[in-house]
Amino acid sequence: MKRLNVAVAGLGYVGMSLAVLLARKHSVIAFDIDPDRIAKVNAGQSTVADQEIDKALATEDLSLTGTLDPEAAFSGADFIIVAAPTNYDEQAHFFDTSAVEDVIRTARVHNKSALIVIKSTIPVGFTAQQRAVLMDDGIAFSPEFLREGKALYDNYYPSRIIVGAKGDSAAQFAEMLKDASLKPEVEILLTGSDEAEAIKLFANTYLATRVAFFNELDSFGLAQGLNVSELINGVCLDPRVGTGYNNPSFGYGGYCLPKDTKQLLANYKDVPHQLVQAVVDANSSRKKFIAEQIVKTGAKTLGVYRLTMKQGSDNMRSSAMYDVVKYLLAEGAHVIVYEPMLPDDNLKGAEIVESLDEFLHRSDQVICNRKDAVIQAFSGPIFTRDIFGVD
């Protein structure tokens, strides 16, 4: 495949991983409004916690530069990838797409011909709306199916590549992603933009449904005194069920699953639906149930170990542990927290302990969503629902 010029706007885990992936074979300019992120890229450092990205930056000959200048980023690009954040607005019950819209408009000022490919998660119908409003057919959507902390690995070995547009440019973009991957065969699917947007939301909602199902199974087992490991293994040995996403947790969290399920609910509008709402409600109930079980242990000082969503992640957005801690504090529990990545003391009522040794010494019971090497070596009481030691 010929060498292409690619602009990537937004350097979260989606944009950073795509920039590194494509910089192995193409010339990539990364754009962001955050000077610290651009400084990191130009210093050969990752903007997110991802071991594969760190390794690639250290060992591979990448054609990757960062800039704060939109003209420098977009003017010479063959493809412009938009990976700006779309946080869920709880008041509007919809994604906030303003950052994506700003990038699209800015990009078009400097480049009239490149295909703009949205990688940010967006509501169903957003791409078509942008095409109509801007009278621009050169806008496409391509869903990402990446795990935080393993985003580059998932780009190396994609389950499928989907582009919500049809035509030569869309096909070339899909081939570029396929060619940059390390997987011998990857299925490419070119769809309508609405269909691609819906695929992303339904895929993540299905994963959230599995998490909620096995968490409710675990709640039942915990309440009834059952061996949950045996119960899950017995259910999952049926090949129709399988073992994916079957390790109980305090609830699903992170950047994608909570907001995508809520956005899908908003898209349903007047279409009859029960299941998706039940999944959202089940996740809330699970976190409250976990907090109640912790309180029942009677431990005086509850030590919350890590607030991040999962092992290897630097993300605390919508972490299930946050809500569990809030429930515990509402019950009057004495809570201390060990989280070295916590930027500020924004857990009112909880004491942040910076020393791990002090934290472990003071905790009558350690609370952790996922066990790591530190917790595995801890000999004191631990409350976790991490049965299989996987995410």
Distance (Å) of CA 145 to CA 17, 149, 151, 202, 337: 12, 13, 9, 12, 31
Contact call for residues 314 and 341 (beta carbons, < 8 A): yes
**Residue 37 assigned ligand-binding role:** yes
Confirm whether residue 249 is marked as ligand binding.
Answer: yes
The answer to whether 253 is a known ligand-binding residue is: yes
- Closest to 380 measured CA to CA, from 355, 358, 363: 363
Is residue 86 a known part of a binding site?
A: yes
Yes or no: say if 65 and 29 are a contact pair by the CB < 8 Å rule.
Answer: yes
Q: Is 240 a known ligand-binding residue?
A: no
Check whether 148 is labelled as a binding-site residue: yes
Residue 359 labelled as part of a binding site:
no
Residue 246 annotated in ligand binding: yes
Q: Is residue 166 a known part of a binding site?
A: no
Q: Is 326 annotated as a binding residue?
A: no
Is 370 annotated as contributing to ligand binding? no
Dmax over CA atoms of the chain, in Å, equals 65
| Residue 112 marked in a binding site | no
Q: How far is CA 245 from CA 213, 236, 261, 388, in A?
A: 10, 11, 16, 11
Per-residue HEC secondary structure of 297-355 comes to CCCCEEEEECCCCCCCCCCCCCCHHHHHHHHHHHCCCEEEEECCCCCCCCCCCCEECCC
User: In angstroms, how far is CA 312 from the centroid of its own chain?
Assistant: 12
Tell me whether residue 2 is annotated as binding.
no
The H or E element containing residue 359 is helix 356-362
Enclosing H/E stretch for 95: strand 94-95
Check if the beta carbon of residue 130 is closer than 8 Å to that of residue 139: yes
Tokens of 103: 């990038």
286 known ligand binder: no
Query: How many whole angstroms separate alpha carbon 307 and alpha carbon 99?
Result: 27
131 annotated as a binding-site residue = no
Is 236 a known active-site residue? no
Please name every residue paired with 6 in a beta bridge, in sequence order, or none if there are none.
Answer: 28, 79
Establish whether 200 is an annotated binding residue: yes
248 belongs to an annotated ligand binding site: yes
Q: Would the annotation count 296 as a binding residue? A: no
Of the residues 29, 38, 212, 256, only one is catalytic, namely 256
Alpha-carbon distance of 191 to 182, in angstroms, equals: 24
Is 315 assigned to a binding site?
Answer: no
The Cα–Cα gap between 42 and 61 comes to 14
DSSP state of 142: -
Residue type, 173: F
- 221: amino acid identity, one letter: G
* CB crowding 365-387: b at 16 or more within 10 Å, else e: bbbbbbbeeebeebeeebbbbbb
Binding-site residue positions for NAD(+)? 32, 37, 86, 121, 148, 259, 317
Q: Catalytic site residues?
A: 256
Binding-site residue positions for substrate? 145-148, 200, 245-249, 253, 309-310
Binding-site residue positions? 32, 37, 86, 121, 145-148, 200, 245-249, 253, 259, 309-310, 317
